[in-house]
Amino acid sequence: MIALSNAHTIVRNAADAGQGQFLGVDWGSFVVVFLVALVATVLIVVFYSTGLRLLAVGSPADGSDERGVTTAAVQDVRVGPRPLGATVGAMLCFAVSIAAVLYGLWLLIPQFH
């Protein structure tokens, strides 16, 4: 008798799932997941692009044409070594973006946890 009442409860709960929701989807949770994914994606791209920009500090500007002639504006640019702070900052930005991608993979692949 107990097994029959448990089966009845399971069937009743399954029939009630999604009551009052459009297409049986919890749209609030859907929006939360979408916003978290969007923010995470933007942050990963921002950190990666900031790392690339920091690596470009001190590099020569690419202003030459196909013949190898540079313009007067490019000749005035002083090129020096990249500062240590820019290199360390770039590596930190790359580390953050790589860590975020690896954490996302860890969340997606069930064998990892």
Query: What is the per-residue pLDDT across 77-113, written as a single tens digit (0 to 9) for each?
Result: 566 788 999 999 999 999 999 999 999 999 999 998 8
Counting residues of the chain whose pLDDT is more than 70, the rounded percentage is: 64
pLDDT tens by residue, 4-22: 566 566 556 555 555 667 7
Instruction: Write out the DSSP string of 40-96.
Output: HHHHHHHHHHHHHHHHTTTPPP----TTSPPPHHHHT----PPPHHHHHHHHHHHHH
pLDDT the model gives residue 70: 59
